Copies of this chain bind each other. A is one copy, B any other.
Amino acid sequence: MVPGATCALVVLAHLYAFCFSGLLPGSAGSSPCNGTSPNIIIMLMDDMGWGDLGVNGQPAKETPNLDQMAREGMLLPDFYTANPLCSPSRAALLTGRLPIRTGFYTTNAHGRNAYTPQEIVGGIPDSELLLPELLKKAGYVSKIVGKWHLGHRPQYHPLKHGFDEWFGSPNCHFGPYDNKGTPNIPVYRDQEMTGRYYEDFNIDQRTGESNLTQLYLKEALSFIGKQHMNRQPFFLYWAIDASHSPVYASKPFLGISQRGRYGDAVMEIDHSVGMILAYLYQHGLDENTFVFFTSDNGAALSSGQREGGSNGPFLCGKQTTFEGGMREPAIAWWPGHIPAGQVSHQLGSVMDLFTTSLSLAGLQPPDGRMIDGIDLSPVFLQNKMIARSIFYYRGNEMMAVRVGMYKAHYWTWSNSWEELEKGIDFCPGQNVTGVTTHDQKEHTHIPLLFHLGRDPGEKYPLSVTSAEYQDALREISAIVQQHKETLIPGEPQLNICDRAVMNWSPPGCEKLGKCLTPPPSKPWKCIWPH
């Protein structure tokens, strides 16, 4: 495909405004060539909370670049992830579909969060169409920088699912491991590993020092620069992870935050965001690059004051379907297209980034499957509001739904008493009787209902006998019924674990002398405690 071939005049008039696919034979899209298909950068943070940004009220006010990004673009205080845990959330972002549809959940137990640790056998199914695969049809070159988390076995790798380049790791940066019982997590350059965490890419657990964010910044800038040189539209999925425990920062950022090491990590991230936006300005790419900043789930409050972030005024955090688990920081930025300084209360989801990105590229979402993400470009570009609901899933259970200002909980659960007694607390310092329950509590007949405007902290359930409750529930019930009736769950991918599938011998290990011998296969049903 020759970029810009069908729209030469437009390309000449607006140097970085590529548009192709809609008019090319074999393309999936049908949008007219509108001359505004931008580059796309999705900045996905790891365990960063809604309340971690100065613009969202973090008292230390240590995110000047993100705050500036919000002033130059649109802040979305009502933006959500699709799951309170990393892997399902990331699968949802890249497919535009709820994890219950893509199989990124477990049926081993009821309402349990599952993800892709090293033992997991499954990953993103080939039947799913990922954003970079589809963007190819519009001539985009795609790179993922950072954490993949959709399966670490070779068939699941990003380059098998549409990405052209990868620098980062398939799993979380836990460790160090001894390479006997557990291998250290590999870091990939494209198809092959280029080293392992704690061996070739160090994270000093004592000091918190690591230069990974700097590496991820460099990767982003060089990718952008290369595509710019080649006049190639690009999609950069910048999925960095310094704010996930073990949090880290490079030396110049260590100790500079009021907030401790977590704050250091956030400040380095904020700095990097500023560097990327500055690069776009410097190279005249700002008016042709749509940038979206968000996070994969709420702050991990169970990580405590030193490793966990803030969910601002919201209840609980990561792993829960309270607002603190799924409401995300969100900024849309595209100078000259998204008017500066706006706030939109549009209900948004990471899944919308899939549909919106396709729309910006002049493509239609794929046929033959349910897509949950909606096209937010009318919100960003014309500040329109679009009716939609937010579904809060935990594993195989729809725990809650938001419709307008109302949120109905059909199930509540923070975590089990057993886990709590071990010191794992998803709601430290918070306790709302009958809401932050430690048993899985069913409310399907009489949902707990909150008004998130008056009560963003989900502390005051509406009286069941009030007219407000009855009116709101009537509307919500119809939406839930429709959702459930039409839902076809995908085959669960996160049920089976096996130590044999761990990162013993990733592609490329032989070149580095880093191949390890896997133990014999001995699959078991993964245990998901939360």
Residues on B with C-beta less than 8 A from A305 are: 451, 454-455, 459-460
Residues A429 and B315 in contact, CB atoms below 8 Å apart: yes
Question: Is the Cβ of A57 less than 8 Å from the Cβ of B60?
Answer: no
CB distance from A260 to the nearest CB of B (A): 4
By a CB distance below 8 angstroms, the chain B residues around A454 are 258-260, 262-263, 305-306
Residues of B within 8 A of A405 (CB): 258
B312 touches A460 (CB 8 A): no
Contact yes or no, B429 A57, CB < 8 A: no
Measured CA separation A451–B262 after assembly (Å): 14
Number of interface residues of A (CB under 8 A): 42
Given contacts A430-B429, A430-B431, contact A58 B59 (CB under 8 A): no
- Judging by beta carbons under 8 Å apart, are B428 and A459 in contact? yes
Task: Let me know if A15 is at the binding interface, CB within 8 A.
Answer: no
A contact residues vs B (CB 8 Å cutoff) = 51, 54-61, 75, 77-78, 257-260, 262-263, 304-306, 310, 312-313, 315, 343, 345, 405, 428-432, 451, 453-460
What residue in chain B is nearest A312 (Cβ atoms)? Answer: B57
**B315 touching A257, Cβ below 8 Å:** no
A262–B262 alpha-carbon span in the complex (Å): 34
Closest to A75 in B: B61
Does B453 lie within 8 Å of A60, measured CB to CB? yes
Q: Which residues of B contact A306 (CB under 8 A)?
A: 454
Instruction: Decide: A260 and B451 in contact? CB cutoff 8 A.
Output: yes
Shortest Cβ distance from residue A529 to the other chain B in the assembled complex, whole angstroms:
23
Contact, CB under 8 Å: B75 / A59? no
Q: Are B51 and A257 in contact (CB under 8 A)?
A: no
- Choose from B61, B315, B429, B451 the contact partner of A457 (Cβ within 8 Å): B429
Q: How far is the CA of A57 from the CA of B312 in the complex (A)?
A: 7
Contact B61 A51 (CB under 8 A): no
